[in-house]
């Protein structure tokens, strides 16, 4: 009887071990499915990361190109600014020269104002003399025509 009990116990242990193996097998299959999904997800993430890496590299190249272009244009703009500054300086010098010339003309006019007044007065006298001479000449011509 002890032996039968021993066989029954061994049989129950074997059945329990079989049930345990079945559940462990199902659990391992479930874990395997989950791991397959994780592997697929990681593969997709890896592809996305490669895409992001290539886009980041392209963006970096474009940024470097843009910075080079901005640097080049900035240097060109600096030459334009220097040229405009030089033009401004030239105009300022020209304005100073014109101002000095104007001042000299005004000073000369002030110095020669008396002489200019005399010239104008003499011109008026000469004009009056010419006009009187023309009037006398005209009267003489009319007299000669009328007398004949």
Same domain as 130, residue 65: no
pLDDT at 81: 86
Residue 112 DSSP label: T
In a domain, 36, yes or no: yes
Complete DSSP assignment for 51-64:
HHHHHHHHHHHHHH
In a domain, 68, yes or no: yes
Domain that holds residue 58: 2-81
What gap in Å lies between CA 83 and CA 89, rounded to an integer?
Answer: 10
What pTM, to 2 d.p., does this model score?
Answer: 0.42
Question: pLDDT at residue 11 above 80?
Answer: yes
In a domain, 96, yes or no: no
125: left (phi over 0), alpha (psi -120 to 50) or beta: alpha
pLDDT at 3: 82
Question: pLDDT at residue 145 above 90?
Answer: no
Same domain as 7, residue 77: yes
Banded model confidence at residue 134, pLDDT cuts 50, 70, 90: very high
Banded model confidence at residue 147, pLDDT cuts 50, 70, 90: low
What gap in Å lies between CA 96 and CA 89, rounded to an integer?
Answer: 11
Q: How many separate domains does the chain show?
A: 2
């Amino acid at each position: 009887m002890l032996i039968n009990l021993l066989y029954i116990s061994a049989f129950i242990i074997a059945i329990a071990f079989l049930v345990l193996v079945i559940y462990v097998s199902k659990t391992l299959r479930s874990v395997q499915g989950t791991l397959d999904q994780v592997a697929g997800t990681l593969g997709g993430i890896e592809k996305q990361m490669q895409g992001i890496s290539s886009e980041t590299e392209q963006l970096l190249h474009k940024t470097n190109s843009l910075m080079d272009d901005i640097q080049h244009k900035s240097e060109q703009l600096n030459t334009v600014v220097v040229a405009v500054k030089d033009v401004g300086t030239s105009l300022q010098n020209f304005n100073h020269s014109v101002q000095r010339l104007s001042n000299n003309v005004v000073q000369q006019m002030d110095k020669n104002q008396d002489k200019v007044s005399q010239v104008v007065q003499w011109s008026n006298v000469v004009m009056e003399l010419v006009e009187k001479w023309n009037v006398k000449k005209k009267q003489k011509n009319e007299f000669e025509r009328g007398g004949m």
